Amino acid sequence: MDQPLASFAALVSQRAKAHGDETILRAKNRGIWKAVTWTQLAEQVQAIGTALLAADFGRGDVVAILLESRPEVVYADLAIMGCGAASVAIDPDDDPDRVCHLLSSSGSRLAFVENEEQLDKLLTIRDRCPALSRIVVFDMKGLRDFTDAGCVSLSVFVDSGGSADWALAVRSIDVDQPAIVQFPRNEGFGMGRTLTHGDLMHMVGAARARLPIQPNDERL
């Protein structure tokens, strides 16, 4: 009997091997829906995850995401969890004080941000977030002449990935390991709560039992 999967990252790897050419998500680009297959998803996750491993991120670390709803949110989130770190999602509309609270309370060492607007927000509070050492920017529009030792574009960050063993990192995750840190919006500046990989996989199993999605069904 196959061992139960311990993490989302392991689930993605399994699905990519079994259903590589099938569509897992779609994104609209200039008015046209573009399909992303399981193989493409796994490749994007591994590229970012390997860069995180090369930058010495792993168990015990927390990485923040300040991105609008887009496929890259999925890639970054799965990559963070796959390298063994925990992710914390921050609403791009949050004001600087709340963003500072979430970053400092979670101990985030790195933050993925959407664009110049979100980068500017982090730069104004960076000195109040002692653990934050690097910011990775997805959309560099308007930042061609910007230079900062602590900031880098996503493409440059991924190119730094080296040869870290992604498959080994994914296999090393255990169910009791922290996966995400949540800060409920209605609790102001309260403390976050941690969900483990086991918690997330339990939620996946419960959703699968309640929503019997068939192989040819579309998910929106």
C-alpha span between 176 and 127 (Å, rounded): 33
Residue 216 above 80 pLDDT? no
C-alpha span between 183 and 161 (Å, rounded): 30
Strand, helix or coil at 1? coil
Listed as own residue / partner, the contacts of 143-150 with beta carbons closer than 8 Å and 24 or more positions apart are 143/116, 143/119, 148/123, 150/126
Give pLDDT tens digits for 13-40: 999 999 899 988 888 888 899 999 999 9
Exposed / middle / buried, residue 220 (Cβ in 10 Å: 0-12, 13-18, 19+): exposed
Give pLDDT tens digits for 107-117: 999 999 999 99
C-alpha span between 22 and 6 (Å, rounded): 23
Strand, helix or coil at 198? helix
Residue 52 above 50 pLDDT? yes
Residue 219 above 70 pLDDT? no
User: How confident is the model at residue 200, as a pLDDT?
Assistant: 93
User: How confident is the model at residue 220, as a pLDDT?
Assistant: 62
Q: Name the pairing type of β-strands 178-182 and 151-153.
A: unpaired
User: How confident is the model at residue 125, as a pLDDT?
Assistant: 96
- Percent of the chain whose predicted confidence (pLDDT) is above 90: 70
End-to-end CA distance of the chain: 33
User: How confident is the model at residue 1, as a pLDDT?
Assistant: 41
Picking from 63, 99, 113, 114, the residue whose alpha carbon sits closest to that of residue 84 is 63
- For the record, the structure tokens of 164 come out as 């870290």
Give pLDDT tens digits for 122-165: 999 999 999 999 999 999 999 988 999 999 999 999 998 778 89
Give pLDDT tens digits for 188-213: 566 788 999 999 999 988 887 888 77
